[in-house]
Amino acid sequence: MRGASVEFVDSMTAAQAEEQVASWLRTTDRVTVLTGAGISTESGIPDFRGPQGVWTKDPAAAALFTIQNYVADPEIRIRAWRTRRDSPAWTAEPNAGHRALVELERAGKLRALVTQNIDELHQLAGSDPDLVIEVHGTMRWAGCLDCGLRTPMPEVLARVEAGEADPPCLRCGGIQKSATISFGQSLDAAVLAAATRAATDCALFLAIGTSLQVYPAAGLCDYAVGAGARLVVINAEPTPYDEVADAVLRAPIGELLPRLVSAAVGARD
């Protein structure tokens, strides 16, 4: 009964809830994780929809970066290339939260690591790239909108640095963009299918550092719950899924995840 579990959650102290989640982690090896910007803020990468989020503070900026505007307006593209060049993600390091998920994986418990993040900090922390499902793509690659050629982003940014304000595709001359999902662009169908499978085929679904306001990523929680998995929400702010979650934890992710994982799989060094 989901309704009963809400009261149960409300009556638990934070420490009890944490121990409960650790025990669920201990007893299953079919965990699917969904991560959002909140796991990367401790690495110095700002989020978009939190209280200090980029879009929260500047909603007009969000409206600018639609795929339609990007294709139509060279000035938007020039701004976008500068924004990519100046991204704090280029110097960001994975944090203890990312590393805890690597530990969970090495304990044989991770079914999949679905992420809304485009920073590849999971892979840099040591997560198996085959387990990482990037539903919003990656900023570390560029793609041609015409011929589909993919190029490592640093190579394209080097051309920006050298004076090409809007570097065209070297193969066909088409417009290039980071290999990320922009506003107005649909998700890659195969990637979304893999994420949906991971959500429906797990015993425990952890939503970590995501406001769960963006679909279809947030809808993965519905798939998980619908398939009978436990849902745990770990986020600084309330989410629309807190009421259906089996547990909600609010401690800072970089502190909480290592504690949870070490309680579940034992201290390792």
Positions annotated as catalytic residues are 136
Asked if 144 is part of the footprint of Zn ion (rule: CB under 5 A), the reply reads yes
**Judged by CB, which is closer to Zn ion: 40, or 176?**
176
Q: Is 12 in the site for Zn ion (CB under 5 A)?
A: no
- Interface with Zn ion by CB under 5 A: which range of 23-31, 137-145, 185-193, 201-209? 137-145
In eight-state DSSP terms, residue 183 is: B
Establish if 150 lies at the interface with Zn ion (CB under 5 A): no
Q: Judged by CB under 5 A, does residue 160 bind Zn ion? A: no
Closest to 178 in 3D by CA, of 142, 137, 135: 142
Closest CA to 26 of 202, 266, 248: 266
For residue 145, state whether it binds Zn ion (rule: CB under 5 A).
no
Binding map of Zn ion across residues 34-63, x = CB under 5 A, - = no contact: ------------------------------
How far apart are alpha carbons 213 and 155 in whole angstroms? Answer: 34
The amino acid that residue 150 corresponds to is R
Does 147 interact with Zn ion (rule: CB under 5 A)? yes
- In single-letter form, the type of residue at position 27 comes to T
124, 149, 191, 244: which one binds Zn ion (CB under 5 A): 149
Q: Is there binding between residue 169 and Zn ion (CB under 5 A)? A: yes
Q: Considering just the CA atoms, what is the radius of gyration of the chain in Å?
A: 19
Least separation, in Å, of the C-beta of 23 and Zn ion? Answer: 52
Residue 216: cis peptide before it, omega within 30 degrees of 0: yes
Dihedral, 68, 80, 76, 182 alpha carbons, nearest 10: 10
Examine residue 174 and tell whether it contacts Zn ion (CB under 5 A): yes
Cβ 142 to Zn ion shortest distance, Å: 10
Interface with Zn ion, residue 172, by CB under 5 A: yes
Residue selected from 57, 82, 150, 171 as contacting Zn ion according to rule CB under 5 A: 171
| Ordered DSSP codes for 39-79 | GTGGGT---SSSTT-HHHH-HHHHHHTBHHHHHH-HHHHHH
Closest by alpha carbon to 137, among 176, 180, 185? 180
* Interaction site with Zn ion (CB under 5 A): 144, 146-147, 149, 169, 171-172, 174
